[in-house]
């Protein structure tokens, strides 16, 4: 993952690399050059197809391929996705860039944030953070802007401090067992991120790269990692491949490893605090679902009720981890049951692939036998997310707004309205004030937006 500035060129491959450099001006210039090539017919932008990814991480948290918000937006459009979305961990740093790039290239879009929260009612049950009772990954989806009020910035700042403190603790513990290899967090880790929001995966990459610099011969490097990780170096893709990074993380940083930092109740915001933050920003509090096998997720109705009591109104799923092609197994059964329960509640479902590990798909195959029965549900969620984002940005009329609660108190009606708006949107044009006006009723909004394209 390199973030050096490639030489400017009209070569699409070089320009795509530039989309992911750390300089925002360079990224914008590269996008404009790629769009110019598309106008000339020298770069293909296919018609949208029924496929979406609403959960891609960017380099503002961690993307295994180094994609920036602009880089993901462009690649989503070039792949023919009919909608795209980013969800970064603990930050909103990429929201404005992503939404601007998506509008520029005509990609219906949404953007969110993910973090971990403490859930009092599930303090003795694992939810979706393996081995950690009471802790849940949780999402806010549909931020119309990354700009925050002073009060919201206090919350975001808290997330950053929690992550940084935990990372520094991990490094100090892991350094002790990897001697003579040791990281300097500020010098070796933070330069891997554009705005100092490092993750465990950045730590793994930094350890792999520094080991290569310390042990110049392949034999010495292999001997070092074999000893420290207790595994045959032949199974590791030295010097810094994904298998090595995965072993570093699994053996040294996760539960049971010397660097593991067990969560305490006060280490994370509560579910209620997170949902208040998300709602204050006009976004949708969204439950993240893992795979249905934990004690918490087996009590799905209870879990969704508890989340809904503080404002949750949608579900986020990573389909790729919940089925095996050609195998109608327990994982797939739990996925389908969860989708059915969420549909029964009239909650939208936002799906995507994170791309926070090498080998993750860019987009799920909704046409495969396992996902095809749920394809329309997933596409509906994408339309709703894009419509919410557009209406919230234009007039504060998003999915969980006071306007929506007043005019669309029935959740089924709310889903139907926002799905239809999503189908009618022109992703390259902001909604006109004549259509996005809180004085209007839902039917009037639809009439002023016009019909969906054929």
**CATH label of the domain that carries residue 49:** 3.20.20.140
User: Do 194 and 95 sit in the same domain of this protein?
Assistant: no
pLDDT at position 454 is 61
pLDDT at position 3 is 59
User: Do 248 and 338 sit in the same domain of this protein?
Assistant: no
**Coil, strand or helix at 135:** strand
Helix (H) or strand (E) holding 71: helix 69-78
User: Do 37 and 60 sit in the same domain of this protein?
Assistant: no
User: Do 65 and 207 sit in the same domain of this protein?
Assistant: no
pLDDT at position 4 is 55
Domain assignment present for 153 = no
CB 92 within 8 Å of CB 144: no
pLDDT at position 263 is 84
- Write phi, then psi, for 240 (nearest 5 degrees): -150, 35
User: Do 17 and 54 sit in the same domain of this protein?
Assistant: no
pLDDT at position 5 is 53
- Residue 79: HSE in the Cβ half-sphere, 13 Å Cα cutoff: 19
CB 282 within 8 Å of CB 401: yes
**Coil, strand or helix at 357:** coil
Tell me the C-alpha distance between 419 and 400, whole Å.
14
User: Do 91 and 206 sit in the same domain of this protein?
Assistant: no
pLDDT at position 349 is 98
> How many domains does the chain divide into?
3
Give the closest residue to 105 by CA, choosing from 166, 182, 28. Answer: 28
Other CB atoms within a 10 A radius of the CB of residue 46 amount to 10
Tell me the C-alpha distance between 74 and 447, whole Å.
31
User: Do 132 and 201 sit in the same domain of this protein?
Assistant: no
Residues 6+ apart with CB under 8 A from 424: 446, 449, 450, 451, 452, 453
User: Do 422 and 302 sit in the same domain of this protein?
Assistant: yes
Domain assignment present for 4 = yes
For the purposes of burial, counting CB atoms within 10 Å of the CB of 365, is it exposed (0-12), middle (13-18) or buried (19 or more)? middle
- Write phi, then psi, for 151 (nearest 5 degrees): -65, -45
Domain assignment present for 321 = yes
- The domain of 187 spans 158-253
Domain assignment present for 90 = yes
Tell me the C-alpha distance between 307 and 301, whole Å.
10
Is there a cis peptide before residue 180, judged by omega within 30 degrees of 0?
yes
User: Do 240 and 379 sit in the same domain of this protein?
Assistant: no
Domain assignment present for 197 = yes
| DSSP β-bridge partners for residue 401 | none
User: Do 27 and 61 sit in the same domain of this protein?
Assistant: no
User: Do 375 and 406 sit in the same domain of this protein?
Assistant: yes
User: Do 294 and 417 sit in the same domain of this protein?
Assistant: yes
Domain assignment present for 274 = no
Domain assignment present for 429 = yes
Residues 6+ apart with CB under 8 A from 47: 80
Per-residue confidence of the chain (454 residues) as pLDDT tens digits? Answer: 545 555 556 899 999 999 999 999 999 999 999 999 999 999 999 999 999 999 999 999 999 999 999 999 999 999 999 999 999 999 999 999 999 999 999 999 999 999 999 999 999 999 999 999 999 999 999 999 999 999 999 999 999 999 999 999 999 999 999 999 999 999 999 999 999 999 999 999 999 999 999 999 999 999 999 999 999 988 899 999 999 999 999 999 999 999 999 887 788 999 999 999 999 999 999 999 999 999 999 999 999 999 999 999 999 999 999 999 998 999 999 999 999 999 999 999 999 999 998 888 999 999 999 999 999 999 999 999 999 999 999 999 999 999 999 999 999 999 999 999 999 999 998 888 889 999 999 999 999 998 877 6
């Amino acid at each position: 993952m390199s973030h050096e500035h490639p030489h400017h060129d009209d070569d699409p491959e070089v320009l795509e690399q530039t989309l992911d450099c750390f300089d925002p001006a360079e990224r914008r210039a590269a996008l404009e050059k790629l769009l110019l090539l598309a106008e000339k017919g020298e770069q293909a932008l296919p018609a949208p197809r029924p496929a979406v990814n609403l959960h891609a991480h960017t380099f503002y948290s961690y993307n295994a391929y180094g994609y920036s918000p602009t880089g993901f937006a462009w690649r989503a459009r070039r792949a023919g996705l009919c909608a795209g979305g980013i969800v970064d961990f603990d930050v909103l740093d990429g929201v404005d860039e992503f939404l601007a790039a998506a509008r520029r290239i005509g990609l219906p879009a949404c953007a969110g944030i993910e973090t971990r929260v403490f859930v009092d009612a599930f303090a003795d049950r694992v939810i979706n953070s393996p081995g950690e009772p009471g802790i849940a990954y949780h999402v806010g989806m549909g931020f119309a802007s990354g700009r925050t009020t002073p009060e919201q910035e206090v919350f975001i700042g808290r997330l950053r401090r929690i992550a940084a403190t935990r990372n520094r603790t991990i490094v100090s513990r892991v350094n002790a067992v990897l001697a003579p290899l040791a990281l300097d967090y500020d010098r070796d880790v933070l330069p891997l991120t554009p705005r100092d929001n490092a993750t465990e995966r950045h730590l793994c990459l930094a350890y792999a790269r520094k080991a290569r610099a310390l042990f110049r011969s392949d034999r010495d490097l292999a001997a070092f990692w074999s000893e420290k990780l207790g595994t045959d170096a032949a199974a590791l893709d030295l010097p810094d491949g994904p298998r090595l990074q995965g072993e570093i993380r699994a053996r040294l940083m996760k539960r049971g490893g010397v660097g593991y930092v067990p969560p305490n109740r006060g280490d994370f915001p509560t579910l209620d605090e997170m949902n208040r933050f998300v709602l204050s920003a006009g976004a949708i509090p969204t439950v993240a679902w893992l795979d249905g096998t934990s004690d918490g997720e087996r009590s799905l109705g209870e879990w969704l009720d508890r989340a809904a009591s503080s404002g949750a109104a949608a579900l986020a799923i990573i389909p790729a981890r919940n089925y095996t092609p050609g195998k109608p197994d327990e994982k797939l059964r739990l996925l389908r049951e969860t989708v059915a329960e969420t549909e029964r509640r009239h909650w939208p479902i936002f799906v995507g692939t994170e791309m926070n590990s090498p080998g993750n798909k860019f987009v799920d195959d909704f046409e495969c036998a396992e996902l095809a029965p749920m394809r329309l549900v997933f596409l509906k969620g994408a339309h709703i997310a894009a419509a919410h984002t557009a209406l919230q940005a234009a007039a504060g009329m998003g999915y969980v707004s006071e306007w929506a609660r007043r005019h669309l108190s029935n959740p089924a009606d709310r889903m139907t309205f926002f799905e239809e708006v999503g189908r009618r949107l022109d992703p390259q044009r902001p909604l006109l004030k004549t259509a996005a006006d809180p004085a209007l009723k839902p039917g009037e909004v639809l009439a002023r937006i016009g019909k969906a394209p054929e």
